[in-house]
Structure 1
Amino acid sequence: MLGFNEEEFLEQARSTVALRPQIEQLVERIQGGSWKNIYFIGAGGTYAAALPYERFFQTRSAFPVRAVIGKEFILAPDPQFGPDSVAIFASVSGTTEDILECVEFAREKGALTIGFTGYPESPIATAVDEVLLSAPKAWPFDVQFLLFGAAFLAARGEFEGYDRLVQDLQYVPEALVAVTKQADAAGEAFAEKHAETDYHFLVGSGNLWGFTYLYSMCILEEMQWLRTTRVHAAEFFHGSLELIEKDTSLLLFMGEDETRPLMDRVLGFATEYSDDVTVIDTKDYALPGVSDEFRSLLAPMIADAVVDRFSKHLARVRDHSLDLRRYYRVVAY
């Protein structure tokens, strides 16, 4: 398949699952200590990627957990953030300057700092108190974040079936390869149809809202220089719907959690008023070896595997490499 190295993908995905013992040890340390809250501190894609797991905690537990935009957090910190806090960071390269600044800020506040990355000698890996290393370039961070959240809440008696989830995650790398292969034709068709489309409208909800935000900003805007609007399904009918016309390209991210009715409502409106609606529905993709019990939790991983094919084919038909930047890490800002 275009731009897909199956062996490399499996190595990266398996390396994230293999972090389970370290994550469990880390959770045990936190549970045995005096830490009172957890902050996922990110920038761009890593902030967006943390949103499903902020939601995972907030819909299951009274333990305080927030996902925050790091640079703003430095300027306007939460008064509850300090020596009793756990700060979680992620960076594929381990060199993201915004994240490094936030690590330094968190350490100054006395927080326990945890970093997920793939490079042991990177600035972020060497700056945090605890680093958990996957294979180089491993993305996304969903497995690590989900394992951490599930282990933490299971220890508090707030998540049932942790052992079953861990067993299911062993099958996820191969299952996501199957998803990728299944999605390739849809990705190619989307790209061929939209080679000249310069504006897309993206909608998501629940644990796919963060992914919707990420795909809009970090892929379509940053990597393809396309104009987008991104809106949560619950907010779609409070202004954004006025932008929809018959030729508006809409991408709807449909998950399998309790917020799906919000997306059903958007889908009904979108198909009535636009002739260009693309639905990325995680229910359409089988996950061999994974039980139905945990499918909804894996929706961000499924969506990521699906739209990887959209991205690779868009880059081809538009002759615009996903690595090309005008400004990001190119000019001073």
Structure 2
Amino acid sequence: MTETAAERLELKPIDADTVEKLAESIAEYDAIRDAVRPLVDKGLHAVYWVGAGGSLICSYPAHYLLTQHGRVPSFQVQSDELNCSQPALMDDHALVVLASYTGKTKETVAAAATAAKTGATVIAAAKADSPLAANAHQSFVGKSDMFELLVAYAVLEASGVELDWDAVKVGLEALPGAVVNAVEQADEELASIAEDFANDDFTYVLGSGPSYAWAYGMAMCFLQEMQWKQAAGFNSGEFFQGAFEMVDEKSAVIVWHGEDPSRPMGERVIAFLKTYAPRHRVVDVAKLELPGIPAEVRGQFSPIVVAALANRLAQRYEYLRQHSLDNRHYMFKVEY
């Protein structure tokens, strides 16, 4: 994309409102607990995380946490999949959690109405007065990934699951500042990745556990949708089921390496890439300082850090390639 001097895009600052957005979400935790506890008390038997694109991606860390520690089955469902076929367990003992950045994503708004018809309790992260907020039983204004992680914590807490709740509380208080600190530490590395891969015809993005969310999301949302670059995101384990046959010494590969229990999967893929795809780049949350976050919960919070790192990497691509993240061929422009 060619820009005139007057149109040249400036590098965005590291998102100045990250602390505010995360803090706003965390401040809603008491209200989230109040919404969730009565459902658990009456026999909650399923939680569904529903969304499309980024909002579905943002729910993956919450789904992972609830699956790892919870007593209530957790499911992810794409919004229009729900509209086409309602799960049997979605009833008056189910919780449906939705999110939409605009609050207007038509299939997600429809999914909220579909879920409500099953008798399920429907809560959402959406802008106030948006169609999604209007179709949910209760809505919150928090940042999607943080809101959904808090819903997972609320279900675990109400279910009597034994986590280190003191560490969780301390970690939540420190998280907004810790995320910004991590992005600042990693920014030079992220700039280097964008410089190395800006002109590649194809980019692979890998991640395991909750970090898989932004392997998929980095490829689909940031690189394909917002940069018009060919890319594919894979679970680090699934990479060995076919995609790894396509990489060689010229391949561009990004690995999100979190601190959750799936970390050995990341180690395995990194070991392979060191031998066969030397241009790979690893972004390792374990190497970043997260001030105030207790060691016991770093793994639970690392996907929130990965999301912020992915966003910053996208901003680095935008500046280097002079291709606005707001450019679209079709999205919001044609009927689809």
TM-score range, shorter chain: over 0.9
Structure 2: gaps (5+ residues): 1-9
1:193 is matched with 196
Cα displacement string for residues 138-179 of structure 1 (whole angstroms, at most 9, x for unaligned residues): 4xx232222221222122222322233122111111111111
Q: Do residues 133 (structure 1) and 141 (structure 2) align?
A: yes
2:250 is matched with 247
1:121 is matched with 129
- Report the AA paired with residue 123 of structure 1: P
1:82 is matched with 91
For the 8 Å contact 2:71–2:159, the answer to whether it is kept is: no
Q: Do residues 3 (structure 1) and 6 (structure 2) align?
A: no
Structure 1: gaps (5+ residues): none
Q: Aligned equivalents of 1:6 and 1:231: distance in 2? A: 27
CA shift for structure 1 position 59:
1.9
Q: Aligned equivalents of 1:166 and 1:296: distance in 2? A: 15
2:78 is matched with 69
Q: Do residues 92 (structure 1) and 101 (structure 2) align?
A: yes
1:147 is matched with 150
Alpha carbons of structure 1 residues 5 and 283: separation in structure 2 relative to 1, 3 Å: closer
Q: Aligned equivalents of 2:15 and 2:247: distance in 1? A: 38
For the 8 Å contact 1:35–1:86, the answer to whether it is kept is: yes
CA RMSD of aligned residues (A): 1.6
1:175 is matched with 178
For the 8 Å contact 1:53–1:146, the answer to whether it is kept is: yes
Q: Do residues 314 (structure 1) and 317 (structure 2) align?
A: yes
Alpha carbons of structure 1 residues 172 and 2: separation in structure 2 relative to 1, 3 Å: farther
Q: Do residues 215 (structure 1) and 223 (structure 2) align?
A: no
2:57 is matched with 48
For the 8 Å contact 1:42–1:70, the answer to whether it is kept is: yes
For the 8 Å contact 2:253–2:279, the answer to whether it is kept is: yes
Cα displacement string for residues 110-164 of structure 1 (whole angstroms, at most 9, x for unaligned residues): 21110112x2111111221011123xxx4xx232222221222122222322233
- Report the AA paired with residue 230 of structure 1: G
Q: Do residues 20 (structure 1) and 23 (structure 2) align?
A: no
For the 8 Å contact 1:150–1:159, the answer to whether it is kept is: no
For the 8 Å contact 1:183–1:309, the answer to whether it is kept is: no
For the 8 Å contact 2:100–2:108, the answer to whether it is kept is: yes
**Count of matched residue pairs:** 327
Name whichever of 167-176 and 76-85 sits farther off.
Answer: 76-85
Three-state SS of the structure 2 residue aligned to 1:203 is strand
Cα displacement string for residues 246-289 of structure 1 (whole angstroms, at most 9, x for unaligned residues): 11000111111221111111111111111211101111111101
For the 8 Å contact 1:203–1:253, the answer to whether it is kept is: yes
Q: Which of 270, 278, 281 is 1:278 aligned to?
A: 281
For the 8 Å contact 1:100–1:123, the answer to whether it is kept is: yes
Alpha carbons of structure 1 residues 197 and 324: separation in structure 2 relative to 1, 3 Å: same
TM score, norm. by length of structure 1: 0.93
For the 8 Å contact 1:83–1:110, the answer to whether it is kept is: yes
CA shift for structure 1 position 5:
5.7
Q: Aligned equivalents of 1:289 and 1:166: distance in 2? A: 11
CA shift for structure 1 position 220:
0.9
Q: Which of 150, 160, 165 is 1:162 aligned to?
A: 165
Q: Do residues 303 (structure 1) and 333 (structure 2) align?
A: no
TM score, norm. by length of structure 2: 0.92
CA shift for structure 1 position 34:
4.2
Alpha carbons of structure 1 residues 195 and 209: separation in structure 2 relative to 1, 3 Å: closer
Q: Aligned equivalents of 1:133 and 1:6: distance in 2? A: 18
Identity fraction in percent = 27
Name whichever of 266-275 and 23-32 sits farther off.
Answer: 23-32
Which structure 1 residue ranges, 4+ long, deviate > 3 Å from structure 2?
A: none
For the 8 Å contact 2:59–2:149, the answer to whether it is kept is: no
